[in-house]
């Protein structure tokens, strides 16, 4: 069998990838949401996200406004934080943080008998600035965000709920979609830190690199 490679210049690989994604989409998608859906597919090579990604009403305007106001993006893993384009975020006065490895978070988790992900969300809830949560790994973090919202202790500008896995993953995503806050959720079991970062980056690229 003869294998033929596409001849694509290094600087054109991403553009060509998005052309292929557009050609192979299983069905038309909302043009306003396309930059996010396509970037997640680009990150994962998984076209299921054309159906799995769910968006609350008006979420794009609300999310972009939060970024323009210098939002702090809180992640549940250092991997998600590492994948976020810090330069693009800083250009709007924002930053990305992950508290999971902070000593005070470990102490709080041990004292309260919770996961560090839960303790990290408690710490984030104490910060007085626009908050975006990008959760790609820990459903316990997503559940805690839901609880903090219900308790009136947290009012996030956006929750990106894309934890991956099996235990309480589906349930945590369904909960956050009932919390009456702006959300972007990957319904079902699929997700990951790379997906959380990809959604953050897609939002920033919509504002201009």
Task: Tell me, yes or no, if 42 is annotated catalytic.
Answer: yes
Q: Which candidate, 139, 100, 45, places its Cα nearest to that of 147?
A: 139
Long-range pairs for 28-32: beta carbons < 8 A, 24 or more residues apart: 32/60
- From the list 42, 62, 97, 123, the catalytic residue is 42
How far, in Å, CA of 205 to CA of 187, rounded? 24
Q: Which candidate, 123, 137, 109, 119, places its Cα nearest to that of 72?
A: 123
Query: In whole angstroms, how far apart are CA 25 and each of 37, 41, 95, 156?
Result: 10, 10, 33, 32
- What are the catalytic residues? 42
């Amino acid at each position: 069998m003869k294998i033929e490679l596409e001849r694509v210049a290094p600087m054109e690989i991403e553009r060509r990838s998005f052309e292929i994604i557009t050609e192979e989409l299983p069905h038309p998608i909302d043009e306003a949401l396309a930059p996010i859906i396509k970037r997640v597919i680009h990150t994962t090579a998984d076209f299921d996200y054309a159906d799995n990604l769910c968006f609350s009403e008006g979420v794009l305007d609300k999310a972009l406004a939060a970024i323009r106001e210098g939002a702090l993006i809180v992640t549940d893993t250092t991997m998600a934080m590492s994948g976020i384009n810090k330069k693009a975020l800083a250009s709007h006065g924002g930053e990305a943080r992950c508290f999971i490895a902070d000593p005070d978070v470990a102490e709080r988790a041990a004292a309260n008998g919770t996961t560090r992900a839960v303790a990290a969300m408690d710490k984030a809830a104490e910060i007085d600035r626009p908050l975006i949560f990008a959760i790609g790994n820990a459903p316990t973090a997503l559940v805690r965000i839901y609880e903090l919202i219900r308790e009136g202790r947290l009012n996030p500008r956006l929750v990106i709920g894309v934890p991956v896995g099996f235990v309480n993953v589906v349930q945590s995503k369904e909960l956050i979609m009932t919390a009456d806050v702006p959300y972007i959720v990957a319904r079902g079991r699929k997700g990951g830190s790379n997906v959380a970062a990809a959604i953050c980056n897609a939002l920033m690229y919509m504002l201009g690199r």
